[in-house]
Amino acid sequence: MSRILTSLAKKKLCVAALEDIKARDITAIDVRKITSMFDWLVIASADSARQTKALARNVRDKLKAAGCAIIGTEGEEGAEWVLVDSGDVVVHVMQPAVRSYYNLEELWAEGKFDRPGKLTSPAGEASRAARAKPSVKPPAKPAEGARRRAPAARTPARRRPRDTT
């Protein structure tokens, strides 16, 4: 028998399960105003296929232990992107390359974003640094009237003639 938890309580339980196994860049998106299929979308990154599987398994086990029904789990074979569906909360655990390729955050950008916990992981710091303004100054413009050097001409390498004797 499955116990009734609110979608917010399920989301918090999923985030806690992801934090237990050191998931990176956890993002929860409230999509209730966008779709009626589910209420929350939780997205997290994992460093390896093994960690991806472990995170998804931990989320599934914590939800089951709390008495929640698991509708399905997909992607455990390849382990680049594992989805855990518990009805009103859907959890996506992805490796960074897959996450940046599919960019689910942009797809669900109309939702209300919730970034639980502190972004203290190296990936969190890197994503914050990427959003920050660059600290490197742009190259100086050449002085007015200064001549630009022409690019070096490329000549094909000469071949040696074949010895036909």
pLDDT of residue 50: 94
Count of domains forming the chain: 1
The whole model's pTM is what?
0.67
Percent of the chain with pLDDT over 90: 54
Q: For the domain that residue 15 is a member of, what is the CATH number?
A: 3.30.460.10
**Residue 155 maps to a domain:** no
131 falls within a domain: no
Lowest mean pLDDT among 10-19, 97-106, 128-137: 128-137
For residue 76, is it within any domain?
yes
Q: What is the pLDDT of residues 8-44, one digit of tens each?
A: 999 999 999 999 999 999 999 999 999 899 999 999 9
Query: What is residue 131's predicted lDDT score, i.e. its pLDDT?
Result: 43
Phi, psi of 18 (to 5 degrees): -70, -40
Task: Quote the domain boundaries for residue 51.
Answer: 7-117
pLDDT computed for residue 97 by the predictor: 94
Query: Is residue 160, in this structure, part of any structural domain at all?
Result: no
Q: What are the C-alpha distances in Å from 68 to residues 30, 52, 72, 79, 87?
A: 19, 21, 12, 23, 9
Q: Quote the radius of gyration of the chain (alpha carbons, Å).
A: 25
Looking up tokens 């742009």, which residue turns up? 138
Residue 125: inside a domain: no
Q: Is residue 44 part of a domain?
A: yes
For 160, other C-beta atoms within 10 Å of its C-beta total 5
Cα–Cα distance, 102 to 58 (Å, whole number): 23
